[in-house]
A = this chain, B = another copy of it.
Amino acid sequence: MKALYFDGKSLTMNADYPKPKSGETLIKVTMSGICGTDLEILKGYMSYSGVLGHEFVGIVEDSDNKDLIGKRIVGEINAGCKKCPSCLSGLERHCQNRTVLGIYKRDGAFAEYISLPEENIHVLPDSVSDKQAVFVEPLAAAFEITEQLHLEPNWKIAILGDGRLAQLVARALKLSCHDITCFGHHERKTALLQKIGIKTKSAIANSDEHAFDVVVEATGSESGFLDAMRLARPRGTVVLKSTIASQNKLDLSPAIINEITFVGSRCGPFRPAINALATGLVSVDDLIDAIYPIDKYVQAFEHAGKPGVLKILLES
């Protein structure tokens, strides 16, 4: 089968990659999405080599669960050992022996076929289009915040960033909190946020300091981390939604003096994301910048890596 393989150095299309033969549910991939994590992996993140891609929609071709065959589905990307305390408590995404689709020890979705454990599969309602379905995984990561924190409806929320992740976080949190401000300086992107009732600011004003109950860091930059400490109120919460490696001296004293809580936040629950898309509570169509056939992957990745670009999809 065709698969987009990353050998740790370069990304190449392999026309004869072996089709998965794992005894898991076999899925023919219809469409997939390029994520910031994919771009990071190409730069060395996770030291991953294998088939890339973890945002996808597809059709089940084979499964031990015969009811799944022929169904249009999305799939959770973490596959646990099913034996450890994390797995037994329903948190397979924290299994220390897990594999992760297209990220860690498991071939990903930029291919004709993938396999996943049957438990990872979610059948899609007809009201979710293929293009929308590709957003289930990153939107679930946004809903993870609502699983980790009890968001009070009157809280003031700040989101740092206006990119792919920030856009989805804003859309997910809007269902819980009405007063959300995104800090971003790309006019096209902040315009999309304004349309759905999110306030936007291009810079932090003095009156913003220590004014927010929750701050979501979704820029991935070190300045984002420092800005988050500046925006959070005493005893407020900063959600770390993007991985940050500080290049400079990082002084955490302000966080201790103001007793800030930091919450690392990663993959999330698929069901609320599917429901929000199915009912139209969350819109994502405006986030798609282009769709490429997977054979045009060079152009697609180039496009995805350009500043200001939101979501690029691939058709398998």
Instruction: Please report A residues at the B interface, Cβ cutoff 8 Å.
Output: 86, 91, 94, 96, 148, 210, 225, 234-235, 240-247, 249-253, 255-266
- Determine the chain B residues whose CB is within 8 A of the CB of A261 once the complex forms: 261-264
Oligomeric state, in number of copies? 2
**Chain B: minimal CB distance from A225 (Å):** 8
Interchain residue pairs A-B with the least CB separation, the first 10: A94-B234, A262-B262, A256-B264, A243-B253, A255-B264, A246-B250, A245-B251, A259-B264, A250-B250, A260-B264
Q: How far is the CA of A92 from the CA of B186 in the complex (A)?
A: 39
**Chain A interface helix/strand/loop/mixed:** mixed
Task: Report chain B residues within 8 Å CB of A253.
Answer: 243-245
**Chain B residues within 8 Å of A258, by CB:** 94, 264
Instruction: Let me know if B255 and A245 touch, CB within 8 A.
Output: no
A246 and B243 form a contact (CB under 8 A): no
Q: How far is the CB of A43 from chain B (nearest CB, A)?
A: 13
Q: Cα distance A246–B245 when bound, in Å?
A: 12
A102: shortest Cβ distance to chain B, in Å?
Answer: 15
Expressed in whole angstroms, the minimum distance between the Cβ of A14 and any Cβ of chain B is: 28
